Structure formats: C-alpha cells, structure tokens
Amino acid sequence: MKTLSRVYDTYAQARNAVSAIEAAGVPTSEVSIVANKYVSDKYADVTDASKASEGAGTGAGIGGAVGGGAGLLAGLGMLAIPGLGPVVAAGWLAALAVGAVAGAATGGLVGALVGAGISDDHAQVYSESVRRGGTLVSVRIGDTDVGRIEAILDRYKPIDPALRGADYRKDGWTTFDPKAPAYRPNQSEIDRIRREDLAA
C-alpha cells in the first residue's frame, strides 16, 4: 500500500477530489480528510473539540454543514488533533493523528503523515497548510493504482508543497509548530476556504 496526500486551498476542491476518488472505486475506508474548522460557520468559533462533538452527534451534522453526502464525507465530525486543535475530519489518517489507533504515538498530523510514508518536509507543509485554512486528502492504494489516483487528485488543483513551503519560509516560517497559537483567518480567507465556485 502507498499513501498519496494532497492539500487543497478550498474545501470544495477537496470535497470534489474525495467524491471522484470514491467514484473511481477506492473504498471509503482508505480515504481520509482533515479540514480547517473554518470550512463550516457552525464550528468556526469552537475552541474545544469535545464541545463540538455535542452538536455533531455521530458526524452527520458536520457533514451536512459542509456539504457532505454519501461515503467518507457523510462521516465528517469535529475532533482535536494535537498541534492543530479542533478540525473537521474523517478517516484512518485522522484516527492516527489523534492517537486513537492502537500502537499510535502521541498523535499529531505531522507524525501521522510521516508514519504513512509522506516525507517530513511535505508533512510539515501540509500540517501548516491545514492550520492556515487548507483541507488535506489522503488515500491508501495499491502500487498499481498510483498513477490513476494521482491523476484524479491532481485534477482538483492541490497546492505544490515545495512552492507553498517556500512561500511560508519567506515570512519566517521554518517548520510546523504544534505549540504555536491557533491560526485565525480573516473574513476574506474564511470566504476562500469555503468557496464553492470551483470549476471541475
């Protein structure tokens, strides 16, 4: 099995990528999504994921709030990932990141990504991108399907982690800091995160 991960600037891009991956026959159990909590106005002001879960119930509440449907997106829920705080997430990678899987380390998105085979540099950039409003999609697939699934993921215009990391470093960023205060986007950034006008 190989893990492919991409970060998208808007939730709409990530949602469309997940839907296309599932339509291509990838089982829901092999797909994960981790989104900045600002993808939903219902949870934008939540600072404690345990309080968010009261409103989300089994996860269907948040799925509806951010446009989820069948498959993985229907199971979205609010949870806390060490270093990121409350996020909207579902899937195997989210479970690794919170340390909920037997044998997992202390949790954290960087550790979960590296443990899944993503390079440390990309894991750092991906985690910082989620902190700043992005949405991460990760897929576990067999080696024979890598090219096909990469083409689907890339169709929805993910960030280039090398370029995005270089942009972050221009502003003094070095690596993802799990102790850094939570990032609070301004309203125009929140609008970008929620944007639905993606041309597929």
Looking at residue 47, its pLDDT comes to 67
User: Do residues 192 and 9 touch, judged by C-beta distance below 8 A?
Assistant: yes
10-residue mean pLDDT profile of the chain (200 residues): values are: 95 94 94 88 65 41 41 81 85 80 60 92 95 94 96 97 96 90 78 65
Query: In Å, how far from its chain's centre is CA 154?
Result: 15
Distance CA 142, CA 106 (A): 27
Distance CA 155, CA 20 (A): 10
Please give the full DSSP string across 94-159, using - where no structure is assigned: HHHHTT-STT--S--HHHHHHHTT--HHHHHHHHHHHHTT-EEEEEEE-GGGHHHHHHHHHHT---
> In this predicted model, what pLDDT tens digit does every residue of 44-62 receive, in sequence order?
677 665 554 443 333 333 3
